[in-house]
Amino acid sequence: MKTFELSRSRAAGQPDVAGFFDLRTFSVQYVVSDPATRKCAIIDPVHDFDEKSGATATHHADELLAYIQEQGLEVEWILDTHPHADHFSAAQYLKEQLGAPTAIGEKVVEVQALWKELYHWPDFPDDGSQWDRLFAEGDTFRIGELEARVMFSPGHTLASITYVIGDAAFVHDTLFQPDFGTARADFPGGDAHQLWRSIQAILALPDATRLFTGHDYMPDGREPQWESTVREQRERNKHLAGNVTEDDYAAMRDERDAELPMPKLILHALQVNTRGGQLPAPEANGKRYLKIPLDALDGADWD
């Protein structure tokens, strides 16, 4: 099974994009690099967690570190697109290893406030201070000589953002590959109408823009894929192609989402990812503990 692929720059000002697929969570983590300067950013890194044993590991994050060392790259940013519901973020682990700053969208404070209530964390600082930078809509930054900007892309979550770096856009959980469709919008704070509008903003990028998704679920048993273009998504995405209106889309999305069970790690992952990927502090016996609220997500379908 394909778990790695390099999408090379085709012109000056465009990045090399290395994608690493995690079969356990169907997630894709990225190293985005400037061929001219060898500077890079990491996007959506995965911290391994086995919910059956409670074990944590850094196998996938270490895979990124090995690639970066082998390629002679220097990390300037560790970026998350949103607080993930299906895997732990390895942002804090990688910051400890590399010293690079972490960042996420500024609306993460709204997600923190929501989950602070669900977890009953009265003393939790829901101010985004767990990251080094909170990006707003339209903010720009650089990776070497590459220009990067931030698009606010809510709908899947309150805080979702898209990173546009040269001719590449990292669209997290808005769009999947055209044969799978689009993201769910029923998590706390999600909204199908907002998701539609976020998708339309992404599809307004130039036709040849490379789009990199946050997950792939391999419909019909095909090999994992995570790269497409704006044109391919506009013409072939199973949820968008044709004369679909916003109301059509929202109705489809709401009906479909009502039949989906929650991700198996959502209650585990959000208490790590709202902390910027920091695992809970050890208690007096040296062990770390997760806190799982019962009956917190009303209406969720069961497997």
Distance of CA 223 to the CA centre of its chain: 20
Residue-wise pLDDT for 18-32, tens only, equals: 999 999 999 999 999
pLDDT at 300: 76
pLDDT at 30: 98
Residue-wise pLDDT for 6-15, tens only, equals: 999 999 999 9
Q: Which CATH architecture has domain 7-273?
A: 4-Layer Sandwich (3.60)
- CA dist., res. 232 & res. 247, Å (int): 22
Whole-angstrom CA distances from 86 to 26, 93, 267, 272 are 9, 18, 9, 11
Whole-angstrom CA distances from 182 to 30, 216, 301 are 20, 11, 19
- CA dist., res. 192 & res. 181, Å (int): 14
- CA dist., res. 177 & res. 118, Å (int): 32
Residue-wise pLDDT for 109-158, tens only, equals: 999 999 999 999 999 999 999 999 999 999 999 999 999 999 999 999 99
Phi, psi at residue 38, to the nearest 5°? 65, 20
Using an 8 Å Cβ cutoff, are 191 and 200 in contact? no
Query: Residue ranges per domain, the chain?
Result: 7-273
For the chain, list residues with pLDDT below 50: none
